[in-house]
Each structure stands twice: as structure tokens, then as C-alpha cells.
Amino acid sequence: MAGGGTAGWMAAAAIARVMGRAAAVTLVESDAIGTVGVGEATLPHIRAFNERLGIDEAEFMARTRATFKLGIEFRDWGQIGDSYIHPFGTFGRGSGAVDFHHYWTRLLREGKPLPSLDSLSYACALARGGRFDRPATDRTLAGTYGYAYQFDAPLFAPYLRAIAEEAGARRTEGTVASVERDGESGDIAAIVLNSGKRIEGDLFVDCSGFRSLLLGSALEEPFVDWSHWLPTDRAVAMPCRTRTAATPYTSAIAMPSGWRWRIPLQHRTGNGYVYASAFVSDDDARRALETAVEGEALAAPRVLRFKAGRRRRSWVGNCVAIGLASGFLEPLES
């Protein structure tokens, strides 16, 4: 693995735990290079990942200061005051091959008086009430939803590192100075670190973030730019103290030049404003976020720059890119 952080240690832990001693896993990272460290909201797939690695949920939540997440609230998108929750679950109960929401939308078109759609979701009812319960394992409505987590990203990577190293993965301090390629296949033969150390391998996992040192720089895999569809290209992030009980959902709140996230954790609330720099300056975006957040700021606002898009292929030869090295979209459905 070239690069650590959440992506690198997720990959290292997964390969080391699944392959066991059949694979020698080496992760290269440098303490001098920081991580993005603001990815705090997840989708239900994270539970399958954790379960595959044998991670105990209670321990994981305690170590990462996590909270439960039943869905995503979208606030102020239609008009100021609007609020809709996209739950990790279904609405109502369908009939045969027809899902319930089709009946609801048909009646809506006919002008019939209807309750809001999210009032007909078990997960939304829990979320609106600030409650959480694990889904039932039977076929009742109490089993029609899933859940994910909201956690402190800078705590997740060290937690995964311990799991990976326990499974046999090794960490090497350093940065990638150059990449050697096989003269015949074009595959990566080895990476050379700034210390001069040469590391050979059969599979190279690029977790180097936006720099994409292996897939993008060394293998020259083209970047497919999506900014003409998704013009947001920056985010300003700032944590604050938690003033109220943590809600079991993430909020995505419309803003004049983008949208704002609110992610409640056990010990703080994560906040950020994703915006298009063509329409608002960094300073104005900072001020807008500082005005909007609830609670005392715990750190100065930090501006992150990105470009929406992906590498044309995520896997080329013996190199696969994970996380930001492969691509990035604004995390509106995260």
C-alpha cells in the first residue's frame, strides 16, 4: 500500500485479515504527510466490511467515538424549512412486485391528501424521534431498514492499523520517490522510497490520495473530469462542541453556493461547507460556515480543494487505486 490514512489501513487490514500469512502486506506512509481526515459519515456497507474483519461493534464505536446513523436528512433544498430524510430502508409495505412508494406517488399526482413519505418509514420515525434500535431479524416492519455509523475519521485509521498489524501487516516510514516498471508488461515492479529503500511486490495498492502517485502519475491513467456536471470544488471544515443530543442521522443543508454537512459524534459535531469557488470566495465560505454552525468551534476552519471525477480505470495491471487516488465526488449521499 502506498499511503496510509483510512483508505490505506482499510486496504491493509482487509488483505491481511482475509489472506492471512499467505500474503505479505507492507504499507508505506509518512508521518510528515497529513490526511484529509474529515470523512465522518458512512453508508451501511461499512457494517459488512467491519463484520468481514471480525470487528466488534461496541469496541469499534468506543474507539472511534461513533454514533449510529439511520439515514441522511436533506434540509432547505426545496425551500427554507423543508426537511426530508433519505432512510437506509424502505417506505411502507409493497404489494407483490410493486414497491409502496409507487402507490404513494400515484395518489400524490391525483391530488389525494397524503402524509409525508418519510412519515411512512420505520427508520425515519426512529430518526425523527432521536432514537435508535437495531433492525429486527424477522419480516416485520421493524426489519425493513439498515444502519451505518458516524465516526471520528482520524481515530479510525489508527484503530484499523492495530487490526492490520495484528494480522501480519507491516508499516514502513517513508515517501515514494520513484516507481520502477517492468519493461515487458508495463506493470509496477517496485517502488523506491526517499530513503533509497526498494520495495518489490505482486500487487500495489495506491492510497496516496488526490496525488494518485502510482495509478495517475506512474501508470498515467487519465483523469475523467466531472466538474462540468458537479461544479463544487472546495470544502471548508470545522468541528464544534456538541450542544444537544446526537441525532441518528447526518444532515445535508442547502447553502447559497453549495451545501453544508452536519455530523454528530459522541464528543463533537463535524461541520463543513462544500461550495463552488466560482461563486463564493474562501473567506466568505469560512464566514458562512462559522455563522451557521451550532456550538463553540474546536478548531479553525480548514479549506480543502478537490476536483470531481475519477481515473478512467481504477485497476490497471497490478495496481489498484483505493479512495481519493481513484476518484472523488462531493459526499452529498454520504
- Rounded to the nearest angstrom, the gap between the alpha carbon of residue 124 and the centroid of all alpha carbons in its chain is 21
The yes-or-no answer on residue 112 being catalytic is: no
**CA–CA separation, 239 and 301 (whole Å):** 8
**Choosing from 69, 112, 197, 307, which is the catalytic residue?**
69
Angle, vertex CA 53, rays to CA 48 and CA 58, nearest 5: 80
State the alpha helices, DSSP H only, in 181-310. Answer: 282-292
**CA–CA separation, 325 and 203 (whole Å):** 16
Exposure on the CB side of residue 80, measured as CA atoms within 13 A:
2
Q: What share of the chain is helix, strand, coil (3-state, %, to 5)?
A: 30, 25, 45
Q: What is the dihedral of CA 201, 205, 206, 207, to 10 degrees?
A: -130
Catalytic residues: 69
